[in-house]
């Protein structure tokens, strides 16, 4: 009888490379077996890597921190994008800040009402690499409705007043590269001003377990600026703790009271994670987190 060994799972000692990501503050993390390194470069802002894995498909990392894998990019991008998009009555003009891999833009364009999306990504090399090596995620970056801008999003948003229906903050961690600019109260205020009256916003807000300080900071700063601010959660297998935080904010629209499940049911475009039940459930928070946020 054949002894079950690692070979059956494609595990051949010493015939592959490993990718390790250390979670804040460095006590544990995630590792993945790499088949092939497709791209590695140092831009003005950060180290960019794209590699192939059997299990996760292609993986995109910045400064050694996982941004996207082909296996679960939809968990994150659908939750970040569809919550504010479905809450807006008629989103036509959308601003994505960060999000250079294109996953957020791909989800925004599933909404038929959208006429224009501006994506403001600080690092042009990320977009070039994504177009070349991440076809699943970057699939809509060449769509005629998309305008790409390569600037610091925290400055760019200041050029607009009363302009956008939805703003999506798809930023890196505040401690990575230029991500910190996208976590300041000043920046959130500029987003408020750039949004129209029915404006809705979502912001990548880190995880509670490893990056709780940043989660609380993002939430409390957004809350100072927007009359409606609600944290919501989603699973995200390849991000720290697997339980990812997002902040919804608006000038008045409430993500539970004003939610119309029929709109989601009749959407017509394929979604793999987000649905009308997930929308409502995502705003239900565990007791410890609810208590923490009440005190902010
Ligand atoms: N959708 C992929 C997920 C990301 S990528 C975030 C992007 O934000 C990066 O491409 C980065 O270059 C860009 N970025 C960082 N700072 C700025 C800035 N100031 N202005 C514009 N773009 C910026 C995020 C994943 C979250 C990580 C989870 N651990």
Tens of pLDDT, residues 42-88: 999 999 999 999 899 999 999 999 999 999 999 999 999 999 999 99
Across the chain, mean pLDDT equals: 94
CA distance 59 to 80: 19
Look at residue 178 in the predicted model and tell me its pLDDT: 75
Mean per-residue pLDDT, 187-195? 98
* Residue (of 258, 220, 276, 240) closest to 82 by Cα position: 276
Cis peptide before 290 (omega within 30 of 0): no
Mean per-residue pLDDT, 261-272? 97
> Under CATH, what is the fold of the domain 6-69?
Spermidine Synthase; Chain: A, domain 2 (2.30.140)
Look at residue 14 in the predicted model and tell me its pLDDT: 63
pLDDT at 249 over 70: yes
Look at residue 11 in the predicted model and tell me its pLDDT: 59
Catalytic (active site) residue 193: no
Residue to probe by mutation, ligand 1, list 155, 172, 212, most atoms within 8 Å of CB: 172
Beta strand 57-62 with 47-53 is antiparallel
Q: Which residues line ligand 1 (CB under 6 A)?
A: 62, 65, 67-68, 97-101, 103-104, 120-123, 126, 152-154, 170-173, 177-179, 181-182, 204, 239-240
Mean per-residue pLDDT, 187-207? 97
Mean per-residue pLDDT, 196-217? 96
Q: In which band, very low, low, confident or very high, does the pLDDT at 7 lie, cut at 50, 70 and 90?
A: low
Mean per-residue pLDDT, 244-264? 98
pLDDT digits (tens, 9 = 90+) for 86-114: 999 999 999 999 999 999 999 999 999 99
Dihedral sign (CA 276, 278, 279, 283): positive
Residue to probe by mutation, ligand 1, list 50, 121, 174, most atoms within 8 Å of CB: 121
| DSSP helix/strand/coil, 130 | helix
Tokens of 107: 């989800």
Tell me whether 0.90 is exceeded by the ipTM: yes
**Domain ranges within the chain, ordered by starting residue:** 6-69, 73-294
Q: In which band, very low, low, confident or very high, does the pLDDT at 275 lie, cut at 50, 70 and 90?
A: very high
Based on its alpha-carbon atoms, the radius of gyration of the chain, rounded to whole angstroms, reads 19
CATH for 73-294 (3.40.50.150, 3.40.50.11720, 3.40.80.10, 3.10.105.10): 3.40.50.150
Question: What HEC string does 2-38 produce?
Answer: CCCCHHHHCCCCCCCEEEEEECCCCCCEEEEEECEEE
pLDDT at 179 over 90: no
Tokens of 197: 């009256």
| DSSP helix/strand/coil, 204 | strand
User: Ligand 1 centre and the CA of 197: distance in Å?
Assistant: 27
Q: Are 248 and 83 in contact (CB under 8 A)?
A: yes
CA distance 209 to 241: 6
High-pLDDT (> 90) share of the chain, %: 89
User: Ligand 1 centre and the CA of 1: distance in Å?
Assistant: 51
pTM over cut 0.90: yes
* Residue (of 272, 271, 220, 276) closest to 247 by Cα position: 220
CB atoms within 10 A of CB 228: 18
User: Ligand 1 centre and the CA of 257: distance in Å?
Assistant: 31
Question: What HEC string does 229-283 produce?
Answer: EEEEEEECCCCCCCEEEEEEEECCCCCCCCCCHHHHHCCCCCCCCCCHHHHHHHC
More confident position, 30 or 178? 30
DSSP state of 8: G
High-pLDDT (> 70) share of the chain, %: 95
Residue 162: what are its φ and ψ, rounded to 5°? Answer: 55, 50
pLDDT at 230 over 80: yes
Tokens of 179: 């991500």
Mean per-residue pLDDT, 135-145? 97
Same fold, 6-69 and 73-294: no
Q: In which band, very low, low, confident or very high, does the pLDDT at 133 lie, cut at 50, 70 and 90?
A: very high
pLDDT at 3 over 60: no
């Amino acid at each position: 009888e054949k002894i079950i060994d690692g070979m059956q799972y494609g595990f051949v000692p010493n015939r592959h490379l490993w990718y390790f990501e250390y979670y804040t503050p460095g006590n544990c993390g995630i590792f993945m077996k790499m088949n092939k390194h497709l791209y590695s470069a140092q831009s003005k802002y950060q180290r960019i890597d794209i590699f192939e894995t059997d299990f996760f498909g292609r993986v995109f990392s910045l400064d050694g921190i996982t941004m996207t894998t082909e296996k679960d990019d939809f968990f994150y991008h659908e939750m970040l994008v569809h919550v504010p998009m479905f809450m807006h009555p008629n989103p036509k003009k959308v601003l994505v800040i960060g999000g250079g891999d294109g996953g957020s833009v791909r989800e925004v364009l599933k909404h038929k009402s959208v006429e224009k999306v501006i994506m403001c990504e600080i690092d042009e090399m990320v977009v070039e690499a994504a177009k070349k090596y991440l076809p699943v995620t970057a699939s809509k970056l060449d769509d005629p409705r998309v305008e790409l801008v390569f600037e610091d999003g925290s400055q760019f948003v200041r050029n607009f007043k009363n302009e956008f229906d939805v703003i999506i903050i798809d930023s890196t961690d505040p401690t990575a590269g230029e991500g910190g600019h996208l976590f300041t109260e000043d920046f959130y205020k500029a987003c408020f001003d750039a949004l129209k009256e029915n404006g809705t916003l979502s912001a990548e807000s880190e995880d509670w377990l490893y990056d709780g300080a940043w989660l609380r900071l993002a939430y409390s700063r957004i809350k100072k600026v927007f009359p409606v601010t609600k944290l919501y959660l989603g699973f995200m297998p390849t991000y720290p703790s697997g339980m990812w935080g997002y902040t919804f904010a608006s000038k008045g629209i409430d993500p539970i009271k004003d939610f119309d499940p029929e709109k989601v049911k009749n959407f017509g475009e394929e979604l793999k994670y987000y649905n009308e039940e997930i929308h409502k459930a995502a705003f239900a928070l565990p007791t410890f987190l609810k208590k923490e946020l009440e005190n902010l």
